[in-house]
Amino acid sequence: MRIITTGSSSIDDILGGGIRTGVITNILSDSREARSSFCYSLCVNAARLYTDSSVIFGDTQGFFRPEKILSYIKEKQESDSILHQIRRMRILSTNVQMVLVNYALHLHPILVIIDNFSYLFLNEKKKSLSIQIRLRKHLHDLAINAIHNDIAIVITNSIYSKRENKESVEDIFEKKILSFNELLNKTISNLTHVGLELKSVKVDESRYSARLMKPLAATKSYFTVRPDGLHDC
């Protein structure tokens, strides 16, 4: 088992040192900035610590920003080698997502990130039960790969807070889409090994809290996102 530091010592503390290989870590957050910044920091640290391995970033929505990666690299002379190790793979369907890790094994990854893991499943025009069965198989396959190949698998997912004074269109979205998203999140939480929740504290200051949800722990840590990465509060 190997450990990848997150870039925040307080988050590393509640994770027992950082993100571990051999397990699936589920990052839940109400903030895209928190999720993406956390993942970019992980990418840089994994590439810097394990120079003989690659880092795979599975991008389901097209939001990957290489310039953010570049700004997180402290030692600029390492920029070329670190960027070369990080491979962004655009995912356009659940079928592609489900074989991503197997496809990437020849690159000898230390870390595989699938950003907004449930997004493509959420938008499939299939019955709920069929989607859940495929999602369970996907997570089972990821777990097998994580264990057998000593890979850290990190997935991110969105959580939404309910809004007051919704209009009719928002009501429909809330009832149909958000409820299904919540159902998928429960399935994912049950089948992943570690759960970490990142929540907005002060949005205008890019300040967030981090709490371990699985295994459940009462301890919270606080961090901010700055142009050069994560910083403890």
Name the band, by pLDDT with cuts 50, 70 and 90, for residue 59. very high
CA angle 143, 145, 146 (to 5 degrees): 65
Q: Give residue for tokens 């097998």.
A: 144
Average pLDDT over residues 27-34: 93
Amino acid making up residue 25 = T
Could you tell me if 136 and 93 are in contact, meaning their C-beta atoms sit under 8 angstroms apart? Answer: no
Query: What is the token pair recorded at 49?
Result: 């610590």
Are 17 and 3 a contacting pair, CB within 8 Å?
yes
* Amino acid sitting at position 8: S
Tell me what pLDDT residue 163 has. Answer: 46
Residue 140 scores a pLDDT above 70: yes
Residue 155: name the closest of 29, 7, 30, 46 by CA. 29
Q: What percent of the chain has pLDDT over 90?
A: 76
pLDDT digits (tens, 9 = 90+) for 103-133: 999 999 999 999 999 999 988 877 778 888 9
Task: Output the pLDDT for position 214.
Answer: 95
Segment 49-64 shows an average pLDDT of: 96
Domain with residue 57: its CATH number is 3.40.50.300
Is a pLDDT exceeding 80 seen at residue 165? no
Type of residue numbered 229 = G
30 and 162 in contact (C-beta within 8 Å)? no
Question: How many domains does the chain contain in total?
Answer: 1
Structural domain span for residue 9: 3-232
DSSP letter (8 states) at residue 153: E
The answer, yes or no, to whether residue 56 has pLDDT greater than 90, is yes
Mean pLDDT score of the chain, rounded to an integer?
Answer: 90
| pLDDT value of residue 175 | 54
- Show the CA angle centred on residue 106, arms to residues 40 and 41, nearest 5°: 10
Residue 115 is classified by DSSP as E
